[in-house]
Structures are given as C-alpha cells and as structure tokens.
Structure 1
Amino acid sequence: MNHYQSLNDQALAGLLQTGDRQAFTALYSRYWEKMVIVAYVKLQSTQDAEEVVQDLFVDIWNRRGNLQLRNSFHTYISGALKYKIYTFIGRKNQELARSGSLAMEDICRNTEEWLSYEALREDLEKAVLELPEKCRLVFRLSRENGLSNQDIANTLSIAPKTVEKHLTKALLHLRTALKSFFFLFL
C-alpha cells in the first residue's frame, strides 16, 4: 500500500480506471476527510456529510471504467461533490415538502381546494419533467433549492446569462403548459 501512497492523483486515477482496488483505497484515504469537511460546511451535519461523501466514492468506484478526467482528480472530485451535495439538499427539501403536503392533506382531505391543488401540483411536475435536462436542473435549483442566479451559475460552471435564458425558457414552457389549468378558474 505504501507504493500507492507515493503515487500522484493522476497515476492513481489511471490505475483506478483499470479496476485497481488499492489505487481506489489510496484515493479514498487521500480525499475522504477533506471531502467530509467540505460537505459538512454546506450541510452542517456530520452524518449527512459522511453519507454524501460515501455516495460519491461509491459512484466513483461504480463508474471507474468510464472515468474521464479533463483536469486533475482533485478538480473532478470537488465538482462531483458539489453536485452530490445539491442533489442531497434537493432530496431533503422534497422530503420536507412531502411531509408538509401530508399535513395539508389531513386538513383539506375532502375539499375541492385540495383536489385543485393536487391537480395543479401534478400538472406542474409533468411540465417540469418535459423541460430539457439542463433547463430543468437550473429551474429546480432556482425554485426548489432557492439558489440565486449567480449561485446556480457558479455551481454549474455556466454564465449567469445562460442561467437567465434557462429560467426564461422554463417559465415560458410552464406558462404554456399550465394555461389550460388557469382557464378553469376564470
């Protein structure tokens, strides 16, 4: 194992692509604690941070044969961790929204208002799923995670104008897709 510790990240990543478990273990040992600290800063929970980093390393191992490094391994794993954190936060927000929806359901179970709300929510989700992948990601980061355009641009490494274009496209699509729903109330 000492031999692996002396190798640089690029050499270890090359060995990892061939399925070398010791190279993976060396990268894991080298980056685990650093990545947990970064995740903790964003999530403010040691348990959540460790879960996200563990998922990240499982994904790296599972995709080892297709690992394409355009830059350094450190750049790759840092970017991958960012996406894992945002996905984790989004999943937590959805769980909170579901628990809030259950409370609302208890209050409004048999009312017409509840049925209208559910129909609108389902139509909205369908319309969001029709968006192109990048547009949908930008929309969810903005509307569901509450990120600013600049934060989204930084997270996805795209220009703020591109974020604005994706949001404009998403809102136009949603307006068109949900137009029939709003005509029911007029």
Structure 2
Amino acid sequence: MNSNLKLSNESDLLLSIASGDELSYSKLVEKYWQKVLQHALSFVKSYSIAEELTQDVFIQIWEKRDKLAEVKSFENYLFIVSRNLIISHIRKKLVETDTLKDQKLQELFLKPDEQFEFQELVKIINEGAALLPEPRRSVFLLSRMEGKDADYISKKLGLATRTVRWHLMHALNFLRNYLHNHHIISFLTIILLGSFFFE
C-alpha cells in the first residue's frame, strides 16, 4: 500500500512538472540531485564536472518536461537521461583531444584501473585495425582515431562518401567481432569507450 501511495505521489508530481509547476520541479531536483551526482561521479573523477553534468541532467528534464506525463518509472527515465549525457560528454572530450592516449584526459575521466583498460582497449583496437585491408583501415583510423567526418575522409582518400560509410561499417563490424573473440574488457570500459569507437 505504501509503494502504491509513493507511486501515486510521484505520478502526481511528474504531472505537475509537465504542466509547468516550478515548485514541484524543485522538489524533484531536491529529491534526486544527490543520486544523479553520485552516478556522475562514478564515471568521472572531478566533482565540478560531475556537478555540471548533474545540472545538465535536470535542465534537460525541465526543458523536456512535457514527456514526464508519460513516464512510468522516473528513476529509469532519470538513469537513461543521466547515462546519455555522461557518455555524450565523455565522447565529446575524446574527440576534442589530438590523440586517444592523452594522459590528462585519462586522469580526468577514468579511475586508475579504468585508465589501464583504456590503454589496453586502444592497443587492441589498433591491433585489429592493422588487420583491415586498405582503404578500410585508413577510413577507420581517420574516422575513429582522428575524429574526421565522412566528407573529409572522402576528399582525403578520393572515395565517394557512400563508399567511406560502407568501409567504416564493415571495419566496425570486424573490430566488434575482433574484440569479442580475442579479448575480455570490462562492461564499464565498453560503455564509456566502446560507444565512441563503434556508434
């Protein structure tokens, strides 16, 4: 009975927020702020970055508050929003670096054991990439290691854009299988870094 009451109260709260009630939104933020902050801290080592990500999560929830009326489990919804923003943030930082082996980036975002796995993942992917035929290997390296888009790669290698995408798709499929068949990497590392390489 208590769980049903709790569910009803939360549903009412979400409906109020969906209709633009700022007081209800403040209550929601107060209730879940610490949980989101701890979630962000489990991915990043910097408190200030975790705090910024937490703020971004609740800003997005407010900006898309009309969706709250359809949410069945707010905790699940909150987890998905948080996860997506955290991964997006980390991917952006990775793309902004000149090299995937940038030590400062690793120290900022990854714990010591995850830094080791990051280095191992890059090493393994490079080993797998070396097995790719040309121009597939070059397409992959330019796209995922240097962050170049399809148009740039098309001009650089003298290939049609659709051909670049075709080679990249096959390169990613090959490397997914290469990782799966030859190596064991933690689930956390795959979440943090695999999405950058393979999406």
Q: Give the aligned partner of residue 58 of structure 2.
A: 57
Deviation at 1:9, TM superposition (A): 2.2
Post-superposition Cα deviations, 1:5-27, rounded to whole Å, max 9, x if no partner, equal xx832221111100000111000
| 8 A Cα contact 1:40 1:46, kept in partner | yes
Q: In the alignment, does 2:127 pair up with 1:126?
A: no
CA distance in structure 1 between the partners assigned to 2:147 and 2:54 by the alignment: 35
Greater RCO (Cα-Cα under 8 Å, separation 6 or more): 2
- Whether 2:35 is the aligned partner of 1:11: answer no
Q: Is the alpha carbon distance of 1:99 and 1:149 closer, same or farther for their aligned partners in structure 2, counting shifts above 3 Å? A: closer
Q: TM-score, normalised by structure 2?
A: 0.49
Q: Match of 1:43, as an amino acid? A: V
Counterpart code for 2:91 = G
Q: Which residue of 1 aligns with 2:49?
A: 48
User: For 1:56 and 1:30, how far apart are their aligned partners in 2?
Assistant: 14
CA deviations on 1:145-180 (whole Å, 9 max, x unpaired) are x9x89949x96xxxxxxx9xxx6xx8xxxxxxxxxx
Structure 1 residues 44 and 29: alpha-carbon distance in aligned structure 2, compared to 1, 3 A threshold:
same
Of 65-74 and 45-54, the range deviating more from structure 2: 65-74
Aligned position for 1:77: 78
CA distance in 2, matches of 1:80, 1:89: 14
Cα 1:11–1:95 shift into 2, 3 Å: same
Give secondary structure in 1 for the equivalent of 2:72: coil
After superposition, the C-alpha distances for 1:132-156 in whole angstroms (9 at most, x for unaligned) are xxxx9xx6xx99xx9x89949x96x
Correspondence list, 1:86-165, <5 A: 86-97=87-98, 125-126=149-150, 151=187
Shift in Å at residue 97 of structure 1?
3.0
What is the distance in 1 between the residues matched to 2:97 and 2:67?
35
Following TM superposition, the consecutive aligned residue runs of length 4 or more in structure 1 with deviations greater than 6 angstroms are 127-131
Distance in 2 between residues matched to 1:20 and 1:92, nearest whole Å: 35
Q: Distance in 2 between matches of 1:95 and 1:44?
A: 19
RMSD, aligned CA: 4.3
CA distance in 2, matches of 1:83, 1:40: 15
User: Are residues 82 and 16 of structure 1, via their aligned partners in 2, closer, same or farther at CA, if it must alter by over 3 Å?
Assistant: same
CA shift in 2, pair 1:123/1:70, >3 Å: closer
Q: Percent identity?
A: 25
TM-score by length of 1: 0.52
The change in CA–CA distance for 1:88 and 1:11 in structure 2 (over 3 A counts) is same
**Which amino acid counterpart does residue 31 of structure 2 have in structure 1?**
R
| Aligned-partner residue type, residue 126 of structure 1 | A
Q: Secondary structure at the match of 1:67?
A: helix
Change (3 A) 1:82 1:126: same
Q: Contact between 1:69 and 1:76, CA under 8 Å: does it hold in 2?
A: no
- What amino acid is the match of 1:60? I
